[in-house]
Amino acid sequence: MKNELLVATHNQHKKEEIQQILGSRYKVTSLSDYGLNEEIVEDGETFHENAQIKAEYCFEKTQRASLGDDSGLVIEALDGRPGIYSARYAGDHDFDKNMDKVLEELSGVHNRRAYFVTVLCLVTADETTFFEGRVYGTITKERSGAKGFGYDPIFVPDGYETTFADMSTESKNKISHRRRALDAFLEAGQ
């Protein structure tokens, strides 16, 4: 019998990515599977707070083990921006505008160090637990690649010469911040 894990998302791509990483031990479900269509207000001030808000909402509505995920891009030279506002930095989920804003703000800036972070919050009847994954790299001066989503076309992970958007999905999923957070979840014996 597979353990069900309700992921606080409507994003089918994210659901499938998590299912692929977790494998056959879990049956990953989403908000859509439960007909939960109201918007979850993410008004936390940290990735941890926003992940917990999402997980608690799902658990409260379904009484199922629930996983909230909050991810973003943190850029040193921008004092950590876009951070928790990554998805709506220049426009709500308009990543073309978001990337344009980042590239404009970094114009002429030498320090282009950044990292992607994913914080997962698992809420069950017994506990609330956090797992974090990060991947460090640099921001490019222009976009490259057509794969991936979000800021992938402007982020080159350390040890690589191509952006996440230039990598195959399989290659990215082996080293991504979400993968590292899910690996921590699995290592904890969840």
Catalytic residues: 70
Contact indicator for 81, 139 with CB cutoff of 8 Å: no
The C-alpha angle 143, 118, 44, rounded to 5 degrees, equals 110
Distances from the Cα of 174 to the Cα of 1, 136, 149, 167, angstroms: 27, 14, 16, 11
CA distance 2 to 89: 38
- Burial class of residue 84 in the structure, from the number of CB atoms within 10 Å of its CB (0-12 exposed, 13-18 middle, 19+ buried): buried
